[in-house]
Amino acid sequence: MKKLILSSLFTMAYFVAAAQSCTPGANFVDSTYGVWPDTTQNFPQADPNVFYSTDLNFKVPDSVTPAIDPSGAFVGSVIQQFTVSDVIGLPPGYNYACNVSNCTYLGGSNGCANIYGTTDTVGVFPITIEVTATVLISLFPGLPPTPVTQTVTFDGYHIMVGTNGQIIICYGIGPFSVAPNPATDKITISGYFPSTETVVSIQDLTGKVIESKIASQVELNFDLSALKNGNYLIVAKDTFGTRTQKFVKL
């Protein structure tokens, strides 16, 4: 019995250690920038009650490119650093860990994050990756550049748990936008597929629901006048899954 317990503890420690470490892929070092896998390849399928581990590789350029800023206003500005600040929508029991403890990297460097865990929940889980970048902007000639922080989200990812290779048509929620963000008095939610099956709610970061509405119209408006300043979530949910976005009340 003692040997069995020690063996189980060793196995558990091995999985935890393996899950919370990754090494950036050497084949991505020469890339200009990108995220691997992309949303076409997406994450591998998972099975319920089976330990899951997969890596996300990424590289951010050392300066802003036209692809990042189509307006051209900040093209050429130095990207000082970037942080993978959140991976939203993971299945219950899943988490992520970067190859550096604070998930913060200098511009131009490669990094990776390991997504790991065990869940007993079957379904399709849309994933949103949130990145916060610090860009050095020259506001006035002759003065040192000013660091400006910008949050960017990447969606289109998903993890399928226990679907046994079935083709799932996700015609439910779909992507949606929150505007303005940050906001002061109200926000408008739009871009989703209207349905009486879809519920959109404002939640605090603990998951407490503050207000909910049925998304039967092409857009929804939420009054923020009674809301305290801070960070909140917009959670859109129906029988096909859940999508989440953060917003800031000022």
Among 121, 150, 168, the domain-final residue is: 168
pLDDT tens, N- to C-terminus, the chain (250 residues)? 333 333 333 333 333 444 457 888 877 777 777 788 887 788 898 988 999 999 999 887 888 877 677 777 788 889 899 899 999 999 999 999 999 988 999 988 889 999 999 998 888 788 888 888 898 988 788 888 889 888 877 777 888 888 654 433 344 456 678 889 899 999 998 876 677 778 899 999 888 999 999 887 778 899 999 999 999 999 888 766 678 888 999 9
Q: Are 98 and 110 in contact (CB under 8 A)?
A: no
**pLDDT attached to residue 12:** 38
- Do 193 and 88 belong together in one domain? no
- Do 130 and 32 belong together in one domain? yes
**pLDDT attached to residue 9:** 34
- Domain that includes residue 141, residue range: 1-168
Q: Are 219 and 188 in contact (CB under 8 A)?
A: yes
- Do 126 and 109 belong together in one domain? yes
- Do 102 and 151 belong together in one domain? yes
Among 168, 184, 212, the domain-final residue is: 168
**pLDDT attached to residue 239:** 65
- Do 79 and 55 belong together in one domain? yes
- Do 25 and 118 belong together in one domain? yes
**Nearest residue to 207 via CA among 242, 178, 172:** 242
Q: Is 0.75 surpassed by the pTM of this model?
A: no
- Do 174 and 160 belong together in one domain? no
Amino acid identity, position 185: D
- Do 162 and 188 belong together in one domain? no
**pLDDT attached to residue 175:** 66
Amino acid identity, position 121: T
Q: Are 227 and 249 in contact (CB under 8 A)?
A: yes
- Do 146 and 174 belong together in one domain? no
- Do 175 and 202 belong together in one domain? yes
Total structural domains within the chain: 2
- Do 150 and 188 belong together in one domain? no
Among 168, 186, 212, the domain-final residue is: 168
